[in-house]
Chain A
Amino acid sequence: MTFVPHTDKDRAEMLSAIGVRSMDDLFADIPAELRVKALDMAEGVSEQEVYDRLHEMSRRNAHSLTSFLGGGFYDHVIPAAVDSLTSRGEFFTAYTPYQPEVSQGTLQAIFEYQSMICRLTGMEAANASMYDGGTALAEAVIMAVNVTGRDKVVISTGVNPIYRRMIRSYTANLGIRLVELSASPDGVLDRAVAVAALDGDTAALIVQNPDYFGSVDDFSDLAQAARDAGALLIASVYPISLGLLKRPGDMGADIVTGEGQSLGLPLSFGGPYLGFFAVRQALVRKMPGRIVGETVDRHGKRCFVLTLQAREQHIRREKATSNICTNGALCALRATVFMSLLGRQGLREMAQSCARKAAYAKRRLAQIKGLRVRNRAPVFNEFTIELPAEADGVVCKLIDNGFAAGFPLGRYYPELGNCLLVALTEKRSKAEIDSFAEALEVAL
């Protein structure tokens, strides 16, 4: 494809056609602090000079910190084969094919991905993927409202606060009433409060496992309570934890979503990530996104097609189940290769390693004077500690010692200003945990 940049004249014509005066006006909805600032690049410099300048700028990022940072996005091992297989030319396109059945390899890869997500979550049908864990959860909210014809959605504040903000933006104009149930690091979601919130207007109850504070729960009773109220249970889950924890499908969840970044995608300062989305069979026609199905061609040979397309906007227009008609194919492929390489046993071992390291770190940090572990429920790889000082300041001090100490919860939970969310993965060694504990002790 040729790359022809727009001329100033092109831009002026396009802006005047849509009735906008300037580029700044066009981007007025994007907060100023999020817009690209000037790269301060001189005109007419050589490729090598541009490369050197950008490289020098990138070195200012803190990418050599020993990370205990999680909060939904985790620093896991990525086998080298993930990069080499996904960078093959046959796969290396970011887009879902518009003549899909011509691309049998792409469709089969998506089909295998969907099958793996179903096995991982214990659900019956998965879509071809969505943008990230937050958009997947927002789509689940819209789906539940459409399925039930109800408008109230009950969500635990133990669900990732970023996802909750995304749900609010996504559904701002849809007339959905979002009711938050207050969760705390001390324990799991209060059952009496949750059940009391379920009424005849409730479309869904949304929970997360482990919750944002790290606590592990079994939502089987809440799935039943939701069913009794005619509502759906939506569970947002951390895929690596499913190597060890009870699957949401086995708890009776109706819709399962989650962030697939930990399945072979680098953190990359925030993306591109991967949203997975799975449902019970009975709900498959209400599911958003693309779905690949297996069938036979006219010679009776196994082949793959995009199926149940009548849900999608190119057929159902304004009544489509979603306005997303694409998927994160390359990110989903990374997850597929990652899960294939690990297998059932490998995933279990990775999950065990995370849990053991978290258990050790929890014991080690609890020895620090003035520090308290808040979680009384079991945890998987992440837990909340309360410090005798503002967590934000402590995190800043530890960056100078080479540690990303964790996520200061006060940023989203004002009442938890002294609390720090600490995550462990299989990548952290005992020595790293010990020196982190020592550095933390000194910082306090």
Chain B
Amino acid sequence: MKRYTKDHEWIRLEDGKAFVGISDYAQNSLGDITFVDLPKLGTAFKKGDSVCVIESVKAASDVYAPVGGVVESVNNALADAPEKINVSAETDGWICVLTNVEMSDLEDLMDEAAYADFVQKQG
């Protein structure tokens, strides 16, 4: 199951674990990504907390937790190759995996069709 936030994060649930990243639309708006300040393992986030910061040539942007949870692993490949987010934001460019996911937080997120519609309206 995959869901999106209004802040352009995505979350994909697989066996009770949640992969988190930013959408292809978001990476395209940010431009060339130069650095991802990966979160520390074991950190607990509530929905909407800042998980990490992504730096691009244009800006530094916070990534917000789409749901509450605890950081189980991070995508260490991004430390040396942050551009993976530009190349494949919604697959290889995942940022972290959350466990102990607060399932009720998923309720107001958008599915792929709704997000595509939301992005369309952003212009």
Contact = CB atoms under 8 A, between A and B. Distances in A.
A285 B60 contact: no
A410 B1 CA distance: 70
Nearest to A320: B60
Contact of A315 (B35, B37, B59, B62): B59
- Interface range for B: under 10
Describe A's contact surface by its main secondary structure: helix
A316 B62 CA distance: 10
A429 B77 CA distance: 61
A285 B59 contact: no
A65 interface: no
A383 to B, nearest CB: 45
A89 to B, nearest CB: 34
Nearest to A149: B40
Interface in B9-67: 34-35, 37, 53, 55, 59-60, 62
A319 B52 CA distance: 12
Most buried by A among B35, B37, B55, B59: B55
A319 B34 CA distance: 18
B37 A316 contact: no
Contacts of B62: 319
Interface in A311-353: 315-316, 319
B35 A316 contact: no
A335 B37 CA distance: 34
A118 B37 CA distance: 24
Nearest to B56: A310
A316 B56 CA distance: 11
Most buried by B among A310, A315, A316, A319: A310
B33 to A, nearest CB: 11
Contacts of B55: 310
Contacts of B34: 310
Contacts of A315: 59-60
Contacts of A319: 53, 60, 62
Interface of A: 285, 310, 315-316, 319
Given A310-B34, A310-B60, 13 more contacts: A285-B35, A285-B37, A310-B35, A310-B53, A310-B55, A310-B59, A315-B59, A315-B60, A316-B53, A316-B60, A319-B53, A319-B60, A319-B62
10 contacts: A285-B35, A285-B37, A310-B34, A310-B35, A310-B59, A310-B60, A315-B59, A316-B60, A319-B53, A319-B60
